[in-house]
Amino acid sequence: MNWKIKNENNNPENISVGSPRFDEMSCRVEAGKYHPVILKLLFNRGIAREEEIEKHFRFDYENDLADPLAISGMEKAAARIIRAGEKKEKVAIFGDYDADGVTASAVLFETLVSLGLGEAMCYIPDRQTEGYGLNEKAIKYLYAQGVKLIVTVDCGITNIAEVGKAKNLGMDIIITDHHHAPQDLPAAYAIINPNVSDSGFEFKELAGVGVAFKLATALYRMKAPEKIEQLKWLLDLVAIGTIADCVPLLGENRLLVKYGLVVMAKTRRAGLVELFQVGRINISENKVPDAHKVAFQIAPRINAAGRMDHANTAYKLLIEKKPSVARDLALDLERNNQDRQKVTAEIFREVEILANNSFRDKKFIFAENAHWPVGVLGLVAGKITEAFQKPTVILQRQENVLVGSLRSVPAVNIIENLERCRELLIKFGGHSQAAGVSVTFEKAEKFYEKMDALVAGQLVGHESVSAIEIDAEIAAEDIGWELAGDLKKMEPFGIGNTQPVFLVRNMVVVDAKIVGNGQKHWKISLRGGGNSPKVFDAIGFSLVEKFPDLKKDDRLEVVFNLEEDEWNGNKKLQLKLIDLKLAD
C-alpha cells in the first residue's frame, strides 16, 4: 500500500519540526506547553494560531456551546412546542431509523416528557416499506391519532409535498435536520438546519442529534432554566448519534462527544447498561469509552435494528427504565447485529465479483438486486467504495423503483452530483460522501451514465489506489509518555480529527512472535536504529499473512498509532502497527 506523508502533500514549503516557518508558529505558544510533534500535527490540520491551538485543547461545556436561541427558527419552534404543552396538544416526534435519528428522537422525547410539553409520542418509519423521511401514510396515521404538531429529527428538509399534506390537514410541522438543503424548502412552521442559508448556526457540522440537542437546550432555557443541568444526562445519546453519523469531530461536535463519553461511562440508562453487558463492551465508571469503541461496538448495534427489522427496538432500548425489559431489547439488538454482519458479508462478496468483472474500467460502480435488504446497502456501498476507491451505488429492485445508498471518495461530492441528476430521480438526500436515492427502472440507465460521466471527470488526476496517510515522520527518540500525554489531549479522535498516524524509519527488530487465535498477529519488540537504548512493544493485527518472515535484527520502516496499553493495572506504551516495510 502507498504511504503519503501529509505535510509533504499539503504544505508547499514542506514544513517540518525545526524548520523556520514551523518554529515561528510554535514559538507563539508558551514554551514547552506542548510537545513539538503535537504542534506539527495541529499545523498539518490547519490549526496554527495560538488562539486556535488553545481552543482545540479547551473543553468548556458551559461557555463554548453557541446560544441555540441565536439560530434561525429556534425561538419560534420552541415557543410552538411550549404552546402545545400549555394546550395539552399531542406532539409527534418523527425520526429517522439510523443511530443518529434514533438517538435524536430519544433526546427530544425525553426533553418533552421532562418539561411536560404536550402528550409526546415518537414515530420512526419502517426502512423497507416507508423509506426515508416523511411520507403520506405516516402523516395520515398521525392525524388519525390526534397529533397537532410534528417535529422531525434528522429528516424532513426535502419533504415539500408531505409537509404540504400535513398543513392541509391542520397540523404544524417543525423540521430539525442537518442534511443537504435543496433550493426549494418545505413550507414548514419552522426549519432548523445548519445547511439552510442564514441558519444562524455558528458551527454547521452538527449531526441530527446535535441539532435536536440544540432544540432541547432552547426548550429548557425558555421553559425551565432552573432544570437545565438535567440536559447533561442526554449527552450519552448525543455522543452515540454524533459518532455514528460520521460528522467531523471538530468544534461543538468534539465538545459534545468529549462530555458525552464521560456521561456514557456513568449512564443511568438501563438500555445502555444491558447493551454493554450483552455485547461484552467494557464500559463502566472507571472505563470511559473512546469514540472508536462507540463507532465499532455500540453504533452498529443501535443501527442493526433499523437495518434488519425496525428501529423501534433501538429507540425503546434507549428510553426503557426497567432492566428486565431492557435486557430483552438488548438481546434482540445483538441478534440483529449478528444477522447484519452475515448478510453484509454475503452481499459484499457478490458485488465485489461484479465490480471486478464489469466495472474494472469504470469510475462509478452500480449494482442492484431484488433480494438485497435495503438496510445494509449503505454498509455494502461503503465497503465497496473503500476496496475499489470508486464512488458506488447499491440498490434494491422493488416493484417499480430502485432504492438504495451511495458512498463516495473525498474527490467526489456525491450530493452535488445527485443535484445535477435531479430530473432523473424520484428523490434523494444526504451528504457529500453518503446519500440515499430512488430512481425508476426507466431512468436507471440514464442515471448511471450521467453519474459515471460526472465522476470520471472529477477523478481525473486522482489516484484510484488507496494510500495510508501519515500525519508525521518522527524519530524513535520522540516516542515517550510526554508525547502520549499530549496525544490524549487531542481526543476524541474520529472523522475530521483522526488518530495521528506516525512513521519511524530504521527500527530494529529485537524480538518477534506470532500471537492470537489463527496465528494472524505479530507481537514485536522494536529498538530505534543506532543502538538506541529505547525498546518499544508493537502489535501488528492481521499482518502475519502480509509479512510472514519477520525475524530478529530486521530493519524496518513502521507506520503506527501510538497508544497506551493497560493490563492488570499496569500501563505501557504500544505501537499499534498499521503497515511496515523492510528498510533499504
Q: How many helices (H) and strands (E) does the chain have?
A: 21, 18
Concatenated DSSP letters for 545-562? Answer: TTSTT--TT-EEEEEEEE
Q: What is the pLDDT of residue 22?
A: 47
Residues 105, 169: one domain?
yes
CATH number at residue 437: 3.10.310.30
Closest CA to 214 of 153, 173, 146, 128: 153
Residues 451, 511: one domain?
no
* Residue at a domain's end among 403, 431, 458: 458
Residue 498 confidence (pLDDT) above 60: yes
What pLDDT, in 10s, does the model give residues 267-319?
999 999 999 999 999 999 989 999 999 999 999 999 999 999 999 999 999 99
555-567 and 535-540: which strand pairing? unpaired
* Residue 259, in any domain of the structure: yes
Residues 446, 575: one domain?
no
* Residue 51, in any domain of the structure: no
Residue 102 phi, psi dihedral angles, 5° rounding: -65, -45
Q: What percent of the chain has pLDDT over 90?
A: 78
Residues 307, 364: one domain?
no
Measured from the Cβ of residue 411, the count of other Cβ atoms closer than 10 Å reads: 14
Residues 238, 142: one domain?
yes
Q: What is the pLDDT of residue 463?
A: 67
* Residue 91, in any domain of the structure: yes
SS3 sequence of 136-187: HHHHHHHHHCCEEEEEEECCCCCCHHHHHHHHHCCCEEEEECCCCCCCCCCC
Residues 313, 367: one domain?
no
The total domain count for the chain is 3
Q: List the domain range (segments joined by +) for residue 560.
A: 501-584
The one-letter amino acid at 553: D
Residues 312, 372: one domain?
no
* Residue at a domain's end among 427, 458, 489: 458
Q: What is the pLDDT of residue 14?
A: 41
Residues 148, 234: one domain?
yes
**What's the half-sphere exposure (Cβ side, CA atoms, 13 Å) at 547?**
24
* Residue 52, in any domain of the structure: no
Mean pLDDT, the chain, rounded, equals: 91
* Residue 469, in any domain of the structure: no
Residue 464 confidence (pLDDT) above 90: no
Q: What is the pLDDT of residue 28?
A: 53
| 475 burial level (CB within 10 Å; 0-12, 13-18, 19+) | middle
Residues 411, 557: one domain?
no
- Give me the mean pLDDT over the 442-468 stretch: 88
Residues 452, 510: one domain?
no
Residues 14, 7 contacting (CB under 8 angstroms): yes
Residue 13 confidence (pLDDT) above 50: no
Residues 215, 314: one domain?
yes
Residues 255, 61 contacting (CB under 8 angstroms): yes
What pLDDT, in 10s, does the model give residues 499-526?
999 999 989 999 999 998 888 999 999 9
What pLDDT, in 10s, does the model give residues 178-220?
999 988 999 999 999 999 999 999 999 999 999 999 999 999 9
pLDDT: which is higher, 464 or 571: 571
* Residue 481, in any domain of the structure: no
